Each structure stands twice: as C-alpha cells, then as structure tokens.
C-alpha cells in the first residue's frame, strides 16, 4: 500500500498544490466559449485563490472602497451566505453578476449575493480513492465528489477538481439593488 495517489509522470509544480493532486485539464483556461454550468478546474482554482471574477477574470474588489468581493452563489433555499460558510464558487464583478442573474434560467431565482471581506482556504472537492483498493469511494450525498478539508487524512487519496474556501465578513446583497446599480 502506497502513501498517496499520484500520476506516473507527475510534475510537482503542475500537478500538486498544498500537497493535493489536481486533475489535469486539457484545455487552457480562457480559451474557447464559456460553458455555463461547467467549471474549468484550473480557472476555478485561480479565480477563487486570487479573488478574480469567474466571468471575465479581472480582480473583483477594485471598484469598491471597502475592497470587499461580490459572491453570487446558487441557493435553492435562498439563505444568505453565512460567516464561515464553504464555497467552490469564485467571486464575480458587478457586470458579470448582472449578466449571470439576467441570463440564468429564471432571473434572480435561486441565487444569493453577498459582499465578502476575505476568504480562507478550507480544502478541495474531488474524488477520494480507497488506499487499499485504489477504487473511487462514494462521494458526499450520493454524488461522485466529496468535500475534503486540508487537515483530513483522506486528502492524500483525493484527486481534486475544485478549491474550497470559507467566506468571512459577509454582508447580504439584495439582487434587486445589484441589478439596479449595475444596469446604470
């Protein structure tokens, strides 16, 4: 039994970050047309770690005097982002947020918005493999993927596809105010 999963031709600087093995992606981020609902693993990781807009890739706090970041997150229950909540969704600039809300399946339905003061790294989402059989283990809630914290022993056996952060200093934003402010 080995000590962790890895690629046979692994490159430390390209395949691992914070000791986590990352899925390889064949397409350069930013190339091609956007695919709503699909997340490019490298682009998601860069956007969430550097607080870049998930739509246009630009910094998200530049236009605000308080330097907070706008997070627009799908929420069936409509509950606002709470202090310490975990997310894989990168922030978004005001212009891209408006576009996402207006072009969604039902404008403003199923989204919550919050201004966030800062984020902290929490872990990853990925496929966890059995150390004994190297077979994929069942994911969270019947899905293929699991949330795995950076201090979880399963991390060494996880093929990560998304970075997870916890959000702090959250202030809920009314989407009506967002659409009114950014449409002007």
CA distances from 15 to 12, 151, 182 (A): 6, 19, 39
- What integer pLDDT is reported at residue 17 of this predicted model? 86
Predicted confidence band at 7 (pLDDT cuts at 50, 70, 90)?
very high
- pLDDT of 184 strictly over 50: no
- Whether residue 127 contacts residue 146, with contact meaning beta carbons closer than 8 Å, is answered with yes
- Whether residue 116 contacts residue 82, with contact meaning beta carbons closer than 8 Å, is answered with no
- What integer pLDDT is reported at residue 27 of this predicted model? 61
CA atoms within 13 Å, Cβ hemisphere of 69: 24
Residue found by looking up tokens 């201004």 in the block: 115
- pLDDT of 169 strictly over 90: yes
- pLDDT per residue over 26-78, tens digit each? 766 556 665 555 668 888 999 999 999 988 889 987 667 788 999 988 777 77
Question: What is the average pLDDT across 124-143?
Answer: 93
- What integer pLDDT is reported at residue 40 of this predicted model? 80
- pLDDT of 8 strictly over 70: yes
- What integer pLDDT is reported at residue 83 of this predicted model? 94
Q: Specify the pTM.
A: 0.84
Which residue from 113, 123, 129 is spatially nearest to 165, judged by alpha carbons?
123
Of residues 180 and 62, the one with the higher pLDDT is 62
């Amino acid at each position: 039994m080995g000590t962790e999963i890895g690629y046979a031709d692994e490159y430390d600087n390209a395949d691992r970050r914070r000791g986590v093995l990352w899925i390889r992606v064949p397409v350069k981020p930013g190339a091609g047309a956007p695919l709503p609902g699909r997340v490019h693993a490298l682009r998601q990781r860069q956007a969430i770690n550097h607080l870049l807009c998930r739509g246009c890739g630009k910094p998200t706090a530049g236009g605000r005097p308080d330097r907070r970041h706008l997070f627009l997150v799908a929420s069936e229950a409509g509950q606002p982002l709470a202090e310490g909540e975990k997310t894989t969704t990168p922030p978004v600039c005001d212009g891209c947020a408006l576009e996402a809300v207006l072009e969604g399946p039902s404008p403003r339905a199923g989204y919550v918005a919050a201004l966030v003061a800062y984020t902290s790294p929490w872990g990853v989402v990925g496929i966890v493999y059995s150390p004994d059989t190297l077979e994929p283990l069942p994911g969270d809630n019947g899905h293929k993927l699991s949330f795995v914290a950076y201090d979880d022993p399963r991390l060494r056996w996880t093929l990560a596809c998304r970075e997870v952060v916890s959000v702090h200093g959250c202030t809920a934003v009314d989407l009506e105010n967002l659409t009114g402010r950014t449409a002007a």
